[in-house]
Each structure stands twice: as structure tokens, then as C-alpha cells.
């Protein structure tokens, strides 16, 4: 039987990305005493896996072992069809050590060139690990189209160049609540909550 996450308990969110930490804390809805990786003294591990799920599990296990607490990790990124799924698991690395996504968005635009297919998708893998080694993972995706130049200053990462399917605003233009209603992270969280919390 898999462990559960008990509301009110302490949970490490294994990220050093403040935007991602805020979004995850919001999706958890105040049900947990959340510590970020920085607050829990958890250094960033090397992401050596080849899938989003693999990297999420790696980060969650690392944080659970170091902190001695249940840990939730996310691995997410943007995949572009015409670029054979790149940047994919390397989405953050394309932004460089300073996590500056403006050059990364420009690189996608440059590499797409005059390709007709501008479709892509965001993936979010979520993993929860416990200090005893137990782990649970899920994945959510959202389809869309890549636009350029970037639009909007909300969200983070590649949000300003991602127009979700059927939408008129990029993730960078959307009200955070509207983005949360359809995002890849929300879709993964819905599965996670159904399995471990609700």
C-alpha cells in the first residue's frame, strides 16, 4: 500500500526556482507546511535521467533523504515537435546558469526558422518520495503553439511564447488563475491529489 500525504504535515518542495515554488505552493492550497529546498538545506542534485519522470523521482528521493521529510519534486519543460521534442528535459539548461529564458526563447525561434509546424507541449512530471524510499510519480501535459516575439510578463520560463490550444493569450499573458485551470502542472497535481491526498 502506498503512503499518503497527510494534510497539515511538513513537505519539502524540491525546487530552487522561486516561480515554480510559488506555483506549487498555490496548487497545494495551503494544506501543507511547505519548505523549499533552500529552506530545508537541500542542494540541487545533478539531473542525470533521460525523462521528466526520471528526473522528478531523482530530485524527490534526494530531497527526502537529505531532509528526512516527504519531498515533492517537479520536472517540467517545453517540447517542440519540429525540434524533435527539444528542449524537453533540457529546458532549464537552455536558459543557462543564470536561468535567463529570453535567449532560450530566441533560440527556439531561430532553430524553428521557417518550419510550418509550430506546435509543442509542456510536460510536468511530479514525484513524491518518502525517507523510507517509497516513491509515487505522475505526469501531465498541455498542447499548444509557439509564438514569437514573447508576449506577457506573467508566469515564468517559456510561458511568454506558449499559446495553449484554443486560447487567445500566452501563458505569459494569462491571469495566473486562468493558467492554473489548464496547465500541465495542474493536470499532474489533479492526479497526484486523487492518489495521495484527497
Quick count: other Cβ atoms within 10 Å of Cβ 167?
17
Per the CB < 8 A criterion, the answer to whether 153 and 160 are in contact is yes
Per the CB < 8 A criterion, the answer to whether 33 and 25 are in contact is no
Catalytic residue among 31, 46, 74, 75: 75
Residue 20 phi, psi (nearest 5): -65, -40
Q: Is 75 a catalytic residue?
A: yes
Quick count: other Cβ atoms within 10 Å of Cβ 141?
16
Query: Which ranges in the chain belong to alpha helices (H)?
Result: 18-28, 52-67, 91-94, 101-112, 176-182, 184-196
Q: What is the DSSP letter of 94?
A: H
Strand residue runs (E) in 47-183: 71-80, 119-129, 135-146, 162-164
Q: What is the DSSP letter of 168?
A: S
Question: Residues with catalytic annotation?
Answer: 75
Amino acid at each position: 500500500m502506498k503512503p499518503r500525504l497527510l494534510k497539515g504535515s511538513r513537505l519539502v518542495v524540491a525546487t530552487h526556482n522561486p516561480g515554480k515554488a510559488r506555483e506549487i505552493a498555490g496548487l497545494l492550497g495551503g494544506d501543507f507546511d511547505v519548505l523549499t529546498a533552500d529552506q530545508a538545506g537541500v542542494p540541487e542534485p545533478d539531473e542525470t535521467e533521460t525523462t521528466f519522470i526520471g528526473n522528478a523521482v531523482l530530485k524527490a528521493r534526494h530531497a527526502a533523504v537529505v531532509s528526512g521529510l516527504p519531498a515533492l519534486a517537479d520536472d517540467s519543460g517545453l517540447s517542440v515537435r519540429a525540434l524533435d521534442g527539444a528542449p524537453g528535459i533540457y529546458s532549464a539548461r537552455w536558459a543557462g546558469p543564470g536561468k535567463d529564458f529570453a535567449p532560450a526563447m530566441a533560440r527556439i525561434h531561430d532553430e524553428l526558422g521557417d518550419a510550418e509546424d509550430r506546435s509543442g507541449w509542456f510536460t510536468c512530471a511530479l514525484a513524491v518520495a518518502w525517507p523510507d524510499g517509497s516513491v509515487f510519480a505522475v505526469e501531465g501535459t498541455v498542447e499548444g503553439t509557439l509564438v514569437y516575439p514573447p508576449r506577457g510578463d506573467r508566469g515564468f520560463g517559456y510561458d511568454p511564447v506558449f499559446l495553449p490550444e484554443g486560447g487567445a493569450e500566452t501563458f505569459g499573458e494569462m491571469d495566473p488563475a486562468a493558467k492554473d485551470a489548464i496547465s500541465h502542472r495542474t493536470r499532474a497535481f489533479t492526479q497526484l491529489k486523487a492518489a495521495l491526498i484527497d
